[in-house]
Homo-oligomer: A and B are copies of this chain.
Amino acid sequence: MAQVLQGFKVLDFTHVLAGPIATNYLCQQGADVIKVESGKGDTMRNYGGQTFADGMGPSFISVNAGKRSIVLDLKDEGHLEVARKLVKWADVVVENFRPGVMDRMGLGYAACRSINPSVVFCSVSGFGQSGPLKGNPAIDQIIQSMSGLMTLSGEPGSPPVRIGFPVVDTFTGLLGAFAMMSALLQRERTGQGQYIDVAMMDAAMVMMVSVAGPWLAGGVRPQKQGNLGYSKSPTADTFPTGDGDLTLGAVRQDQYEALCRVVQREDLITDARFADRYLRQQNAAALRAEIIRALATRSAVQWEQLLNDGGVAAGAVRDLPAALALPHLQTRRLTQPARIEGSQAQVLNTGFWLEHDPTGTDRPPPRLGEHTREVMAQLGYTPQEIDALCGLPAKAQPITH
């Protein structure tokens, strides 16, 4: 069976992170995504403090495989006309400029709808298209700061700490993809397109539903609790072992008893200080010391295996490269080749598995403007017109002395 979005066309005016992540989900489900870039290209092409001569930096590769790239100068009327033809071609238009920018270029929702009445138009922004902060510049760490996200992790009383990667961008991208998929289902049933407003600040709140929800529903104030789980059971926490750290998830009485058996400390089951969950919480420090002593005899990875075999949820603390190398994940088809010639680069897949619709793409990430001529030709421009639009040779400067 074809991929879910086979035959769907996405015109993608997004750059950097949340927007390209959103269209990455659509692309990996088979949509034809045309990425519109300026002559400088998406700044993600050269990101992370390094400069990549060919504009194919690892961060760019990660979320752009399978898209086509067209370079347009949206201040040039001829190029703007190309953009308008692409709006007519598209099922979905996505952009993540600041509110108002697309309107000023003549490519806002109203203009696009007049060109293509059933278009789905999605704006991704920091603070959304409405409200007093809509014009504010936003990057992930600003949203992490303003949303409360920086006050949730770490030990009680510790200073604010950023989640060490742009998780708000990531979540916003997926939320945008979900919203677009919703609108496409709606359009499939009614023939009607619509406008979608996705904002990083809103998305951050929804991402924090497990703490924002209880606050809104019952006034439960979020509290930092280090690595202790939500249950506050002292055996659902992270511990040093003989080699590396280990997180345990022993919450119920039977899980606690299983833990004691696996670490060969059955005496702790009947120890009067730890006889039930209330006592264990009261005597948490003493219990923690006993557990650390017991875990010192083996490595975290060894304990992970032994404890899971014994029915206790346990996971060694790994870094990301070690996690990605787990044999388990190798069986999950989580990655695929980026198909860049002469490179071993891999990209992540969508992360879920559909029985009938393999996700992923068999095309590499695009070089800057790689598909400019191809796309223009597809729109009906002649080779001469394309030369003129691309500045060859019509716009070449005459040599004067």
Chain A interface (Cβ < 8 Å from any Cβ of B): 1, 4-5, 17, 21, 25, 29, 47-49, 57-59, 61-63, 127-128, 130-133, 136-148, 150-154, 159-167, 169-171, 174-179, 181-186, 188-190, 192, 194-199, 201-203, 205-222, 224-227, 229-232, 236, 238, 245-247, 249, 304, 308, 311-324, 326-329, 331-332, 334-335, 338, 345-357
**Secondary structure class of chain A's binding surface, majority of residues:** mixed
- Flag if B215 contacts A320 (CB, 8 Å): yes
Candidates B182, B227, B351; contact of A181 at CB < 8 Å: B182
**Nearest CB of chain B from residue A22's CB, rounded to whole Å:** 11
Residue of B nearest to A195 (CB): B355
- Flag if B334 contacts A202 (CB, 8 Å): yes
- Flag if B332 contacts A221 (CB, 8 Å): no
A137 to B250, CA, bound (A): 10
**Nearest CB of chain B from residue A360's CB, rounded to whole Å:** 12
- Flag if A185 contacts B183 (CB, 8 Å): no
- Flag if B207 contacts A170 (CB, 8 Å): yes
- Flag if B213 contacts A63 (CB, 8 Å): yes
- Flag if A323 contacts B146 (CB, 8 Å): yes
A332 to B132, CA, bound (A): 10
Given contacts A133-B328, A335-B216, contact A356 B318 (CB under 8 A): no
A146 to B203, CA, bound (A): 26
- Flag if A329 contacts B207 (CB, 8 Å): no
- Flag if A347 contacts B213 (CB, 8 Å): yes
- Flag if B179 contacts A177 (CB, 8 Å): no
**Nearest CB of chain B from residue A122's CB, rounded to whole Å:** 9
Residue of B nearest to A314 (CB): B142
A150 to B245, CA, bound (A): 10
Given contacts A58-B218, A323-B205, contact A352 B318 (CB under 8 A): no
For A205, list chain B residues within 8 Å (CB). Answer: 323-324, 329, 334, 348, 351
- Flag if B179 contacts A48 (CB, 8 Å): no
12 examples of A-B residue contacts, CB within 8 angstroms: A57-B218, A58-B218, A62-B213, A141-B247, A142-B247, A145-B247, A146-B317, A148-B322, A150-B317, A154-B164, A163-B167, A170-B209
Given contacts A154-B154, A213-B61, A352-B179, contact A145 B317 (CB under 8 A): yes
